[in-house]
Structure 1
Amino acid sequence: YPGVKRYMDETIATAKKLGYVTTLQGRRRYLPEIQRKGPAQRGAERIAINTPLQGTAADLIKRAMIAIHHRLINESFATKMILQVHDELVFEVPKKEEKKVEALVKEEMERALALDIPLVVDTGWGANWSEAH
């Protein structure tokens, strides 16, 4: 894909020029090794390519977790957020709160960051994480 190659080349060039890359939220990751030659430079280039993507995903999930946490407290839910695994959140939800919590979580995750394309969140239910998939 030519767009992917262009992204990679432009990101590496920017990292070499500035010495860092940023997430969409502006969080910086400094990469002094990008100026070196050899394996250290190649490693820094991989980090430069991945950080804007993976770092932005991390920013997004953190913002969603904060918003969800505040709403669960402010709206007096008994539901507890118990675990984050990459881009997934695991909750302990009383049966009577399932529908409302599902809507709340979906809403807050989908609006955690303003993006050019819509962010679609899927939900799942089960007695354990495996069943929820």
Structure 2
Amino acid sequence: VLISADYSQIELVVLAHLSGDKNLCSAFINGIDVHKSTAALIYGISPEQVKPEQRRFAKTVNFGVMYGMSAFRLANELNISRTEAKNFIDQYFSTYSDVKKFLDETKRMARENGYVETITGRRRYIPEIKSSSKIVLQGAERIAINTPIQGSAADIVKTAMIKVQAALEKSDTGAKMLLQVHDELIFECSEDNAENAISIIQREMENAVQLKIPLRVSVERGKNWGEFH
């Protein structure tokens, strides 16, 4: 059988860890649907009252902030007016004020140092951050914001691959790692040893690094990848 082990919303988890925002961290620590939680906070309603459309709006903004999404682009994505989009972003940053502080501080440090870092200290140099061109500068700021998040997510996945491989080699499961697809690892294993292999994979992935909030991994198995995608 194939085993698929997938980090749940790893980039948002990393954002919560790096920013330390209490509202965002709380949603993950308590195992709440973070998009529904965001919608509830923004609209001032309970999570049970959140409608699918409101959750979709919140999800778009949750991921959009990691890419420096502007009100113009959000308006196009959600098919709403630019004024509505700006109000939505403003409300988001009011709800997750420490996320805003983290993003602003990251851009400031990028301008000061000329680079940003991931959680393991890998650097990405961004010389364009000092550009006099507004368009080039805005692009550089988006890179500065996104790199610590996506780069740290990549660090976690690569660390997990090393730890899972070492643990599987010590086991008698015979499971083999086949592929990495973004935040997902694919393994091959005999049906008889699948349960044991899943236990090892999940344990090592969820403990690959220690963050302020728990890493959660969902696992599926089947005869082909299409069964879980």
> How high is the TM-score relative to the length of structure 1?
0.93
Residues 27-67 of structure 1: per-residue CA shift (max 9 Å, x gap):
11111111112222221111110111101100000000001
Cα offset, 1:96, TM superposition: 1.2
Structure 1: gaps of 5 or more residues? none
Mean CA deviation greater in 77-86 or 54-63 = 77-86
Aligned to 2:15: none
- Picking from 163, 169, 179, the partner of 1:73 is 169
Please tell me the root mean square deviation across aligned C-alpha atoms, in Å. 1.3
4+ residue runs over 3 A deviation: none
- Picking from 199, 205, 210, the partner of 1:114 is 210
Mean CA deviation greater in 106-115 or 36-45 = 36-45
Letter of the aligned partner of 2:220 in structure 1? G
Aligned to 2:185: 89
Please show how residues 49-68 of structure 1 align to structure 2 within 5 Å.
49-68=145-164
Letter of the aligned partner of 2:139 in structure 1? G
Aligned to 1:132: 228
Aligned to 1:12: 107
Cα offset, 1:75, TM superposition: 2.0
Structure 2: gaps of 5 or more residues? 1-92
Residues 72-118 of structure 1: per-residue CA shift (max 9 Å, x gap):
22224321111111100011111111111111111111111110011
> How high is the TM-score relative to the length of structure 2?
0.55
Cα offset, 1:3, TM superposition: 3.0
- Picking from 120, 126, 142, the partner of 1:46 is 142
Identity over aligned pairs, percent = 47
Q: Following the alignment from structure 1 to structure 2, what is the Cα–Cα distance between the partners of residues 21 and 122?
A: 30
Cα offset, 1:7, TM superposition: 2.0
Higher RCO structure, 1 or 2 (CA under 8 Å, sep 6+): 2
Aligned to 1:34: 129
Greater helix content = 2
